């Protein structure tokens, strides 16, 4: 078993990078990818812990891309910290996220909600602020009962508190990943919000652009959804990847390795991805 999608305190997860690796080891994972939003800062700590515990740490990150009406997230694997076009662009993405975070808090204040930027910063513990931190402050203030409700009522796309962030086009993100020697994979494909039958043509186009894989074994998907996506990936020659999208207490129903309890990403996926890197 492996897990190719996790978030730490470096972005919007609640566990430090080393703890993610410890949880992966406890779940009997042979490998785990750290895929914080827009940041590689957790990789050295996670890698040191992985070396101690004898499992493989895949360096990665998750990039938000321009897409309407749904959400397009690109997972990028084997992206080592250091020099490269995508690594250099991460600082721009972090700046755009920062700017969005300030506008988001201002919007919520305009809507009359009791929240300050300082509170959100304190929740996040500094860098890598995201909407789950805003949601957690709204829970603490009694505005909503859960992080999920904060998204449903205020923060999700189309809700009154939603504020768009400037970011990459999908094709640009794929190009940057490839130019950095990394492997781009589409995360949680159902979030694209496409009609049934729309996903195939879109994946074909992305594949022609250089997309290597699609996240079929996703923690929050049902077994039949995973099977359908895996069959589609096979027809298109894309690697059927997978992971839990673990965020610690911000997504309390998901565990490293096992997702909601029934996830099992095959070990061989990591070798298929590695071959795409060499290709």
Q: Does 156 engage in binding with ligand AMP (CB under 6 A)?
A: yes
143-173 CB burial, b ≥16 within 10 A, e <16: bbeebbebbeebbeeeeebebebebbebeeb
**Choice from 78, 105, 245, 258 touching Zn ion (CB under 5 A):** 245
Cα–Cα distances in angstroms (integers) from residue 77 to residues 22, 40, 148, 165, in the given order: 20, 11, 28, 23
The DSSP H or E segment spanning 203 is helix 199-209
Q: Does 73 engage in binding with Fe ion (CB under 5 A)?
A: yes
Tell me which stretch binds ligand AMP (CB under 6 A): 78-86, 120-128, 146-154, 220-228.
146-154
Nearer to Fe ion, 164 or 235 (CB): 164
For 35, residues 6+ apart whose C-beta sits below 8 A from its C-beta are 4, 5, 6, 7, 60, 61, 62, 75, 76, 243
Q: Which residues pair with 72 in a beta bridge?
A: 65
Q: Does 139 engage in binding with ligand AMP (CB under 6 A)?
A: no
Smallest distance from the beta carbon of 261 to Fe ion, in angstroms? 20
Residue nearest to Zn ion (CB): 245
Q: Does 12 engage in binding with ligand AMP (CB under 6 A)?
A: yes
Supply the angle between the helices 17-26 and 43-53 in degrees, to the nearest 10: 30
How many residues contact Zn ion, by CB under 5 A? 2
**Using CB distances below 5 to 8 A depending on partner kind, what does residue 131 bind out of ligand AMP, Zn ion, Fe ion, none?**
ligand AMP
Contact 118, 209 (CB under 8 A): no
Q: Does 37 engage in binding with ligand AMP (CB under 6 A)?
A: yes
> CA 262 from chain center: how many Å?
20
**Using CB distances below 5 to 8 A depending on partner kind, what does residue 215 bind out of Fe ion, ligand AMP, Zn ion, none?**
none
**Using CB distances below 5 to 8 A depending on partner kind, what does residue 226 bind out of ligand AMP, Zn ion, Fe ion, none?**
none
Instruction: Write down how long the chain is.
Output: 279
Smallest distance from the beta carbon of 188 to Zn ion, in angstroms? 8
Tell me which stretch binds Zn ion (CB under 5 A): 20-28, 63-71, 151-159, 243-251.
243-251
Q: Of 188, 163, 151, nearest to 7 (Cα)? A: 188
Smallest distance from the beta carbon of 110 to Zn ion, in angstroms? 29
Q: Of 39, 36, 13, nearest to 125 (Cα)? A: 13
**Using CB distances below 5 to 8 A depending on partner kind, what does residue 19 bind out of ligand AMP, Fe ion, Zn ion, none?**
none
Contact 238, 203 (CB under 8 A): yes
**Choice from 77, 151, 218, 221 touching ligand AMP (CB under 6 A):** 151
Cα of first residue to Cα of last residue in the chain, in angstroms, is 25
Segment 61 to 80, residues that bind Zn ion, using CB under 5 A: 62
Nearer to Fe ion, 178 or 185 (CB): 185
**Choice from 148, 194, 220, 227 touching ligand AMP (CB under 6 A):** 148
DSSP state of 275: H
Contact positions vs Fe ion (CB under 5 A): 12, 73, 187
Contact positions vs ligand AMP (CB under 6 A): 12, 37, 64, 130-132, 147-148, 151, 156, 247, 251
Contact positions vs Zn ion (CB under 5 A): 62, 245
């Amino acid at each position: 078993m492996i897990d190719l999608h996790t978030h730490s305190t470096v972005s919007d997860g609640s566990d430090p990078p080393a703890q993610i690796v410890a949880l992966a080891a406890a779940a009997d994972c042979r490998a785990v990818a750290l895929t914080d939003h827009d940041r590689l800062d957790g990789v050295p700590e996670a890698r040191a812990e992985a070396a101690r515990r004898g499992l493989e740490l895949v360096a990665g990150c998750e990039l938000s891309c321009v897409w309407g009406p749904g959400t397009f997230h690109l997972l990028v694997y084997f992206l080592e910290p250091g020099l490269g076009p995508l690594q250099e662009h991460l600082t721009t993405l972090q700046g755009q996220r920062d700017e969005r975070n300030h506008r988001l808090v201002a919007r919520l204040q305009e809507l009359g909600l009791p929240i300050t930027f300082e509170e959100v910063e304190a929740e996040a513990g500094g860098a890598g602020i995201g909407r789950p931190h805003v949601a957690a402050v709204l829970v603490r203030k009694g505005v909503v009962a859960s992080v999920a409700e904060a998204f449903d009522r205020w923060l999700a796309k189309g809700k009154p508190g939603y504020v768009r962030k400037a970011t990459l086009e999908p094709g640009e993100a794929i190009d940057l990943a490839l130019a950095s020697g990394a492997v781009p994979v589409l995360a949680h494909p159902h979030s694209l919000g496409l009609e049934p039958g729309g996903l195939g043509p879109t994946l074909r186009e992305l594949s022609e652009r250089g997309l290597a894989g699609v996240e079929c074994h996703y923690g929050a998907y049902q077994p039949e959804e995973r099977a359908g996506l895996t069959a589609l990936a096979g027809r298109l020659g894309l690697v059927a990847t997978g992971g839990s999208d673990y965020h610690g207490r911000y997504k309390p129903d998901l565990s490293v390795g096992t997702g909601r309890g029934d996830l099992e990403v095959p070990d061989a996926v990591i070798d298929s991805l590695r071959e795409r890197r060499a290709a």
